[in-house]
Each structure stands twice: as structure tokens, then as C-alpha cells.
């Protein structure tokens, strides 16, 4: 693995966000739907996965009419996520060992995430991984989601590493395809919330499958 720079997605790649999304849907149910269970339909869920968080929640309001306004729904969602990222978000197994390995090898690392910067910072501080990172970039900083490569190019520029030696680590098929088509080497990471695992496995230069962790990259 010829790597000088690592661009990590956060949710589903570095951290296990499953319980955070469960909290959001349950919170929406309790606050706005009188306890009636809520889950977005699969096509809606797929669509929001690589969107800016603010755009995703506004889209949920638009599709389902939940809350008096999209802003109200977003404010409540951010309240839930602030608590989650500050107090309960876990690293995925093997992540800390891999970050330590890359640091020992003087590999530059950053986060490029569709989550808003203040929430990313809460998670980074809570998990104690800030010392591994040279930068944190949100899609909101570049004004585009991961359907476009802008955030990956911004991250590469920040790292200052050659594109052919800069690897993108992602759990989302859409984000991985964007990075792949833009010329980056890609590591696909299995996550229970992510769709199209077979396609991810087939497209990725390296695939971290279900039951595996990033520690397999240390041996490889």
C-alpha cells in the first residue's frame, strides 16, 4: 500500500454511527410523531447518506412534513447529535491501532466528512484522536456533498500529498465512486448502515469486509 496521505470519512468509517441515527429517528418519533415509530424509506435513506447533514434533515422535512419547519427539525437533530458525539460515539474496532500505525510511519491524516464541523470536532475531542489529524474538513466548508469530489481535493491540498499516494477511506458507495472517478486510491469500509456492499467490494482497491478491521492494513 503506497500511501503518504490518508483522507478519512468519519461516520461509518472511523466511528460507529449506528446508535446516533437510531437516536435521531427515535427522537423525531417522540418529539414530533407522538411516539409513532419513524424510519425513512430506503430510497430516502440512501439519498441522505452523503448529503450535508443540514441538507439531509431539511430533505426529511420536505419529504415527510415533520416539524413546523426544516429549521426546527434541524435544530432538534443537532441537539441529539451534540450529545451523541460528545458523550457516546465509539471508534470502530481497529481504528485506533491503525491511526497509531500511520502516525509512526509519518503518514499525514485528515478527516473529510459530510457532518458539520462543530459536530466532527466534538467527536474528535471525545475520542482523543485530534493528535493524529492535520486537518478536519466538512463538506459544508466546500459547499458540496460527496456526490462531487471537491471535499476530497480540498483534503488532498491540505495534506500536500501526491494524489496517487493519497488514499480515501469511506463506507459510502457514492462517496467511494466519487473519489475513485476523481483518481484517488480507495479503501472501502463495511458498515451496517451502508448500501451496495458488493459494489463497494468490487470497486475498492482494498476492502475492509464485515468482521474485519483496519488492522488488516497494518499486516498488508
Per-residue pLDDT, averaged over 3-25, amounts to 92
Whether pLDDT at 106 is above 60: yes
Helix (H) or strand (E) holding 108: strand 108-113
C-alpha cell at 70: 426544516
So what's the pLDDT on residue 20?
85
Do 167 and 184 meet the contact criterion of CB atoms below 8 Å apart? yes
Whether pLDDT at 220 is above 60: no
Model confidence, pTM: 0.90
For residue 210, give Cα distances in angstroms to 14, 24, 47, 134, 171.
Answer: 14, 24, 23, 29, 11
Residue 170's CB: how many other CB atoms inside 10 A? 30
19-68 pLDDT tens trace: 888 899 999 999 999 999 999 998 898 888 777 888 889 999 999 999 99
Average pLDDT, the chain: 93
Give how far the C-alpha of residue 63 lies from the chain's centroid of Cα atoms, to the nearest Å: 23
141-162 pLDDT tens trace: 999 989 999 999 999 999 999 9
Query: Cα Rg for the chain, rounded, in angstroms?
Result: 17
Do 99 and 129 meet the contact criterion of CB atoms below 8 Å apart? yes
Amino acid at each position: 500500500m503506497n500511501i503518504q496521505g490518508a483522507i478519512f470519512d468519519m461516520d461509518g468509517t472511523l466511528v460507529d454511527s449506528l446508535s446516533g441515527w437510531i437516536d435521531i429517528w427515535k427522537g423525531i418519533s417522540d418529539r414530533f410523531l407522538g411516539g409513532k415509530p419513524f424510519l425513512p424509506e430506503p430510497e430516502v435513506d440512501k439519498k441522505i447518506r452523503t448529503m450535508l447533514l443540514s441538507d439531509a434533515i431539511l430533505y426529511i422535512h420536505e419529504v415527510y412534513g415533520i416539524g413546523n419547519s426544516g429549521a426546527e427539525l434541524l435544530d432538534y437533530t443537532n441537539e441529539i447529535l451534540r450529545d451523541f458525539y460528545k458523550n457516546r460515539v465509539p471508534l470502530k474496532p481497529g481504528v485506533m491501532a491503525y491511526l497509531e500505525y500511520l502516525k509512526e510511519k509519518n503518514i499525514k491524516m485528515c478527516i473529510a466528512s459530510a457532518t458539520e464541523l462543530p459536530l466532527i470536532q466534538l467527536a474528535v475531542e471525545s475520542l482523543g484522536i485530534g493528535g493524529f489529524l492535520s486537518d478536519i474538513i466538512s463538506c459544508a466548508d466546500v459547499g458540496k456533498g460527496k456526490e462531487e469530489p471537491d471535499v476530497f481535493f480540498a483534503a488532498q491540498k491540505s495534506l500536500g500529498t501526491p494524489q496517487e499516494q493519497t488514499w480515501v477511506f469511506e463506507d459510502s458507495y457514492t462517496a467511494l465512486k466519487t473519489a475513485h472517478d476523481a483518481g484517488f486510491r480507495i479503501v472501502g469500509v463495511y458498515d451496517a448502515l451502508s448500501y451496495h456492499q458488493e459494489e463497494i467490494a468490487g470497486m475498492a482497491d482494498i476492502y475492509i469486509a464485515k468482521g474485519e478491521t483496519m488492522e488488516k492494513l497494518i499486516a498488508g
